[in-house]
Structure 1
Amino acid sequence: MTVALTEDQKLPLAEDQALRDALAAADLPTLLMTYVHLSRDMALLDKFQPHVHALSSGKQTAVPDDLAAELREKMRALLTSPNEADLTIPEPALLQRIMSVGMGEPVSKEFIPLLLEQSGLGPQHDRSHRPARQQIPQGFKVLIIGAGISGLAAAIKLKEGGYDFEVIEKNSEVGGTWWVARYPGAGVDTPSHFYSYSFALNPEWSTYRPRGREMLDYLIRASHSYGVRDHIHFETEVLGMRWIEDEQVWEVELNDKHGGKSTVRANAVINAHGRLSRWVWPKIEGLKDFEGPLVHTAEWDPDLDLKGKRVAMVGTGASAAQCGPAIVDEVEHLTVFMRSGHWVVPSEWAAAKVPEGVQWAMRHIPFYLAWFRFGIYWTGSDGLYSNLIKDPEWPAESPSVSLVNERLRKFCMSNLEAKLGDRPDLMEKLTPDCPVFSKRIVMDTNWLTMFRRDNVTLETAGIERVLPGAIRTADGTEHRVDAIILATGYDVARMAGWLDIIGRDGVNLRELWGDEDPVGYFGLMVPGFPNYFHIMGPNAGPNHGAGVNLMAEAQVHYILECLDHLVETGASAMEPTEDANATFNDRVQGQMPKMIWTHPKANSYYKNSKGRVIGSWPFRLLDYWNESREPKLDDFVIHEKATAEETAA
């Protein structure tokens, strides 16, 4: 199968300085995989294989200069010669060989379908042949709550499928978290070239991890280019929703920016309001008494001026690690209040600019961007899964759970020692006692070195109370501060938020799940709530890598499969059975004792206060992707449409 190329990628390319610069700057394993794809030159794979090592091996990939020069020259000749490149997708066996050599480790055949989709190398799922595409009944409507990365993906795929839909977005623009997250240094932990839609690869990222504004711009562009903006009701909130059994529809109450209330009916609802839409204000005595600026990173005041101020930052998670280094140069003093430490992974390159030559290669060399994305996915996703599995023979009191996890801990420790080895006071405070990956890791973009500065203090004594102009810690010390930044995260356990979602028999999902006990089927559906799909629901978190974009796309695919089934069969609704829900959760929770998140020192938002892991998917991402290809119909109650006589009765 031949893949359509953009106008910029039409071959032959001009033999000019731009091409030479791109080949010189290109990542060698990516260039190798791209070249063999285009040339089918297996001999060059054999030459490179001894020199390319897996990231997890600890060895450095060291390609001899003459071999690198040979690759660049062969690629130059191929790209500048007419009709020489093979633009078809290689057969699975060849793909597997290219991937394995390029990554320096075996890539199993079972990964190929997922990798083709998520790299952008292969085609997206084509439903155009499905009978449902010609049978969608007039008036069949889907409502999406939220236009963040998940809701926008749902809108794009519903539009492709020919469904009538509306999107309700409380903000004035798409983007969700990335519209809201405007604190200094805001960005994404997942690498730029993967944290994007597989069907909308972006060669224009300016850094290797996207900044918040650039991520927002990407999502805005996607909303325009895929033509879904006309379906979005901005500055409109969902107040609540109720399943109308007699009519087999959801009735949703809305409130627009003018305060006007209305209701809309939908055959199905996709709740994509996101886990990061409800931030946490910590329960600290006296917080409301503080007289200076008080701001949460998730609700940043763009007019806040911190220049020359004594600033307190409460929290040491991902947002703190981004915000702190971004403001430290302008404040008089920064005091960071830490409750518990996070493992920090060195990532100085994350903020590095993507060289123009690399951007040129991504724009112009066929498949280069897709192979680069594949490499990011492979090294940052299921390749990390082994770190999560407890070795039953490993000492229970150890701050790691297996040999591979201990190696990762030592890698993180070497980063700590390299930057703070001559500061035993900081080393002691900043070395966590939990295993790496037992809670969210933090990217180290000048975070650790920040604590060496004369105008930074790390405070580990607990906060006793906030005073009008200071923070008093448990040891009685008063820290005078002019402003307080709360980097205290999100209420991810309250997955229904504050919405009244009333299903069959008047059951309210918000009350059913309570503050911290959500339980669902496949991280997406709930018995008693027909045609209700909760994206990134219970136990759907990709907590060992890859990013929510993969899970969102998998869940949207599954939702479309469910809707197609309804349309094709003429049914009105579907919901998982209680037995299927129990079986799914028994399987998920049965795996948890084997996982790192249940280590005695693992305290994170992945768990609720009872110790039940509510957020994380405990198997490979490949497993979730495979299971999302189509619903297991035996797990569902399928409701047939009522006849006119039944409706009247």
Structure 2
Amino acid sequence: MPDQKPDRNFLERAVSLADANALRMALFQTTRDPEIAAIPARRVMRGGSEAVVIDPADIERIQKKAVDFLIDHAGEPTPPEVSVAELDELVQMAEARTIAPSDLEMRRLLPSFGDFPHRARWTGPSRAPEGFSVAIVGGGFAGVAMAVQLEQLGIGYHLFERRGELGGVWSANRYPDVRVDTLSAIYQFGFEKHYPWSEHFARQREVRAYLDHVTTKYGVHEKLRLNHHVRSAQWDDDAGVWHLTIEVDGERMVEHTAQVVVTASGLFAQPKTLDVPGVASFAGDLVHTTEWSDAVCYAGRKVAIIGNGSTGVQLLSEVAARADTVYVCQRTPQWIMPRAGYGRPIEVELRWLIENMPCYWNWDKFVAGMSSTDLREQLIVDRDWIRNGGSVNERNDALRAVLEGYIAQQVGGRQDLIDRLVPDYAPMARRPVVDNNWYATLTQDNVELVTQAIASLDERGIYLADGRHLEVDLIVTAVGFDTQNYLWPTRYQGRNGVSLEQAWRDEGAKAYLGMTVPGFPNLFMLNGPNSQPVASGTGLPCWFEIWSRYIAEGIVAMLEGGHCAMAVRPEVCAEYNRLVDEEAGRLLYLAENGARKKNYYVNDQGRLQVIAPFTGERVFAMSAHPDLADFELTPARR
């Protein structure tokens, strides 16, 4: 950063690196310049998605006006609060369209004006009863979001994390080039402004540092209990409490009592093991990506990477740069997509602009999420389009054409690779993977794409189904996680001793709004089954803020109403899941060309389980604030 006031050349570089739409919005909000308001922005279709486009000549005008503004006003504060009417006006200007009032309720919160855009509050002078406590299980983003909510309310809690540090998946995953595949601008909490990210897509170490920063700044660190593995939790209906059994430091068991439990153990807590014959006989190193450490050596070795999801795609380029030979074992082709700015540092000038242009941080955050707002349109199966020769719908087929061209370009037109890399299912049917030079790396002389199934392992390597033997001394398993056993390995028992496994035995995991289950009072989940919407308009940290507010407001309403326990009504949960199943039937995930048998979104019973098949606006409307009529309430004991 410059130590003194930047000169015009520096400012011109800074605004040239900015997102033009975010810069336009920040400048207009700050100056109310009618010339900026008059600059046209239009929505266009690009590769199956809508984008807001501004003509190059108008972008130059915006940039010049921004430079003139910054010369005299750099570093001025962003307004602490913005009215609802102004936000609605600005959001529609940013999106270059008229937005229904019901959809604006969520959108006006996404730029994250104000200290805590998703904060729960007491309705009066109430406070939690003495001795009331919440147990939060899991120290990733979700657990930290819940802890900050409780901290603001003054409700007692402990945050239990089974590892020796915060981070969740960002502690467990340390493999080469591990990073978020969502822009840093939206992979952050709305209450923590202007964190100095160094890259457009933050690396693991920086994400971990961010969580440490948040927990220290907001007082959570004092309530954190590391190396505390919650093994089981049992509901005591008579006492109205949960009894937790916790393994501490892997050595001793302790008991803990809490009135409420919030599980934030995450979707990717339990790694899958490589399930092929002969694994135990392999004499080399076999490492799941969650077990990676600095001790793993791949330089000069013969390496097999099994799996081509986000993890396998991220690490290949770095491993191939130093290994002697790399076999990339692909079971199912993926749609792997480019992302602008992926792997690129945030330039010094842009970093300065983010910190010194009033309102730019907010609108950069908003614009970064806009590309996913209409994602659901790519997933709706259009029967008329299919009858006329299409595959899914017009947008999805346009995306397919773009991605097929991208694959061909990345592999230099090599048909032998193209034939094995283009999936036989539609784009977006599975979670999209971001390209980290994966396709191009397959063309290197020391890299081979292997699409034959793995039959077995022996002490020297891998036998393929056609009998070929790959001699390797390091096998990296990037085979994913068990996403069906929610909250595992902690065992929860609700009323009458019924476990979650028993409650979910027939149809897989189900919950109301992904957060609570009938028969399990005062037990809430973050990122539970059918929670995250298919089109969110923002990153997961924002949803953790939304869901944790719902839970915190539920606790507040329960206490203020003189109750000690709340459990969602069975009929309410059943109706929500009926809507989930009905809406899921319209989407690509369960269609014949939707890879439903190769998709962790769909459970073994053929049901969409991981995500909510709704728009972000609809999920927000359902989970913005709890309705106590949805719950069976137990009066507090006098």
After TM superposition, is the score higher than 0.5?
yes
Deviations 1:150-196 (A, max 9, x none): 00110011000110000111111111110111000111111111011
Q: Which residue of 1 aligns with 2:238?
A: 246
Distance 1:335 1:14, change over 3 A: closer
Report the residue type matching 1:626 in the other structure. A
User: How do residues 8-47 of structure 1 correspond to structure 2 at under 5 angstroms?
Assistant: 18-47=10-39
Shift of 1:405: 1.1
Shift of 1:203: 4.3
Deviations 1:556-586 (A, max 9, x none): 0110111011110110000011111111111
Asked if the contact 1:141/1:267 (under 8 Å) is kept, the reply is yes
Task: Give the 3-state SS of the residue equivalent to 1:350 in structure 2.
Answer: coil
Q: 1:537 aligns with which of 518, 528, 542?
A: 528
User: How do residues 588-607 of structure 1 correspond to structure 2 at under 5 angstroms?
Assistant: 588-601=580-593, 602=595, 603-607=598-602
Shift of 1:17: 5.4
Q: 1:621 aligns with which of 616, 625, 637?
A: 616
Report the residue type matching 1:439 in the other structure. R
Q: Which residue of 1 aligns with 2:117?
A: 124
Task: Give the 3-state SS of the residue equivalent to 2:342 in structure 1.
Answer: helix
Shift of 1:624: 1.2
Q: 1:429 aligns with which of 396, 417, 420?
A: 420
Unaligned runs of 5+ in 1: 1-7, 644-649
| Alpha-carbon distance between aligned partners in 1 of 2:451 and 2:121, rounded to the nearest angstrom | 58
Asked if the contact 1:18/1:360 (under 8 Å) is kept, the reply is no
Shift of 1:202: 3.7
Q: Which residue of 1 aligns with 2:550?
A: 558
Q: Which residue of 2 aligns with 1:638?
A: 633
Q: 1:297 aligns with which of 273, 289, 300?
A: 289
Distance 1:429 1:105, change over 3 A: farther
Shift of 1:91: 5.3
| Alpha-carbon distance between aligned partners in 2 of 1:279 and 1:399, rounded to the nearest angstrom | 38
Asked if the contact 1:280/1:490 (under 8 Å) is kept, the reply is yes
Shift of 1:383: 2.0
| Alpha-carbon distance between aligned partners in 2 of 1:614 and 1:517, rounded to the nearest angstrom | 8
Q: Which residue of 1 aligns with 2:475?
A: 484
| Alpha-carbon distance between aligned partners in 2 of 1:213 and 1:108, rounded to the nearest angstrom | 40
Distance 1:309 1:554, change over 3 A: same
Alignment pair present for 1:505 and 2:500: no
Deviations 1:385-409 (A, max 9, x none): 2112111323289884211111111
Report the residue type matching 2:363 in the other structure. W
Asked if the contact 1:92/1:109 (under 8 Å) is kept, the reply is no
Deviations 1:430-464 (A, max 9, x none): 10111111111111120111111111111111111
| Alpha-carbon distance between aligned partners in 1 of 2:281 and 2:464, rounded to the nearest angstrom | 16
User: How do residues 241-320 of structure 1 correspond to structure 2 at under 5 angstroms?
Assistant: 241-257=233-249, 259-320=251-312
Alignment pair present for 1:462 and 2:462: no
After TM superposition, the score normalised by the length of structure 2 is: 0.93
Asked if the contact 1:38/1:85 (under 8 Å) is kept, the reply is no
Asked if the contact 2:374/2:535 (under 8 Å) is kept, the reply is no
Asked if the contact 2:301/2:473 (under 8 Å) is kept, the reply is yes
Task: Give the 3-state SS of the residue equivalent to 2:361 in structure 1.
Answer: helix
Q: Which residue of 2 aligns with 1:214?
A: 206
Distance 1:348 1:320, change over 3 A: farther
Asked if the contact 1:184/1:326 (under 8 Å) is kept, the reply is yes
Deviations 1:245-283 (A, max 9, x none): 110000101111162221111010001111111000121
| Alpha-carbon distance between aligned partners in 1 of 2:80 and 2:245, rounded to the nearest angstrom | 50
Q: Which residue of 2 aligns with 1:147?
A: 139
Asked if the contact 2:91/2:108 (under 8 Å) is kept, the reply is no
| Alpha-carbon distance between aligned partners in 2 of 1:560 and 1:287, rounded to the nearest angstrom | 46
Q: Which residue of 2 aligns with 1:647?
A: none
Shift of 1:634: 2.1
Q: Which residue of 1 aligns with 2:361?
A: 369
Shift of 1:59: 7.9
Q: 2:466 aligns with which of 466, 475, 488?
A: 475
Q: Which residue of 2 aligns with 1:165?
A: 157
Shift of 1:142: 0.4
Asked if the contact 1:494/1:515 (under 8 Å) is kept, the reply is no
Shift of 1:224: 0.9
| Alpha-carbon distance between aligned partners in 2 of 1:411 and 1:231, rounded to the nearest angstrom | 49
Q: 1:572 aligns with which of 545, 560, 564?
A: 564
Alignment pair present for 1:386 and 2:377: yes
Asked if the contact 1:270/1:535 (under 8 Å) is kept, the reply is yes
User: How do residues 13-162 of structure 1 correspond to structure 2 at under 5 angstroms?
Assistant: 18-49=10-41, 53=44, 61=53, 63-65=55-57, 67-81=58-72, 87=79, 95-122=87-114, 124-125=117-118, 127-128=120-121, 130-131=123-124, 134-162=126-154
| Alpha-carbon distance between aligned partners in 1 of 2:338 and 2:102, rounded to the nearest angstrom | 31
Report the residue type matching 2:479 in the other structure. T
Q: Which residue of 2 aligns with 1:4?
A: none
- Name the structure, 1 or 2, with higher relative contact order (CA <8 Å, separation 6+): 2
| Alpha-carbon distance between aligned partners in 2 of 1:609 and 1:113, rounded to the nearest angstrom | 36
Shift of 1:82: 6.6
| Alpha-carbon distance between aligned partners in 2 of 1:513 and 1:89, rounded to the nearest angstrom | 44
| Alpha-carbon distance between aligned partners in 1 of 2:356 and 2:552, rounded to the nearest angstrom | 33
| Alpha-carbon distance between aligned partners in 2 of 1:102 and 1:82, rounded to the nearest angstrom | 23
| Alpha-carbon distance between aligned partners in 1 of 2:132 and 2:233, rounded to the nearest angstrom | 17
| Alpha-carbon distance between aligned partners in 1 of 2:266 and 2:291, rounded to the nearest angstrom | 16
Deviations 1:193-235 (A, max 9, x none): 1011111134422221111111111111111111111101111
Alignment pair present for 1:175 and 2:167: yes
Shift of 1:101: 4.5
Alignment pair present for 1:609 and 2:604: yes
The more displaced of 435-444 and 254-263 is: 254-263
Distance 1:494 1:565, change over 3 A: same
Task: Give the 3-state SS of the residue equivalent to 1:395 in structure 2.
Answer: helix
Alignment pair present for 1:196 and 2:191: no
Task: Give the 3-state SS of the residue equivalent to 2:366 in structure 1.
Answer: helix
Report the residue type matching 2:63 in the other structure. R
CA RMSD of aligned residues (A): 2.5
Report the residue type matching 1:552 in the other structure. F
Q: Which residue of 2 aligns with 1:343?
A: 335
| Alpha-carbon distance between aligned partners in 1 of 2:33 and 2:467, rounded to the nearest angstrom | 70
Unaligned runs of 5+ in 2: none
| Alpha-carbon distance between aligned partners in 2 of 1:397 and 1:279, rounded to the nearest angstrom | 43
Distance 1:106 1:322, change over 3 A: farther
Alignment pair present for 1:549 and 2:549: no
Task: Give the 3-state SS of the residue equivalent to 2:157 in structure 1.
Answer: strand
Task: Give the 3-state SS of the residue equivalent to 1:250 in structure 2.
Answer: strand
After TM superposition, the score normalised by the length of structure 1 is: 0.91
| Alpha-carbon distance between aligned partners in 2 of 1:371 and 1:539, rounded to the nearest angstrom | 29
| Alpha-carbon distance between aligned partners in 2 of 1:476 and 1:229, rounded to the nearest angstrom | 55
Deviations 1:312-333 (A, max 9, x none): 1111111000011121100011
Shift of 1:609: 1.9
Q: Which residue of 2 aligns with 1:224?
A: 216
* Number of equivalences: 629
Report the residue type matching 2:117 in the other structure. Q
Deviations 1:104-152 (A, max 9, x none): 5555444433233222235524555522x53311011000001100001
The more displaced of 429-438 and 633-642 is: 633-642
* Aligned-residue identity in percent: 27
| Alpha-carbon distance between aligned partners in 2 of 1:371 and 1:426, rounded to the nearest angstrom | 41
Shift of 1:57: 6.2
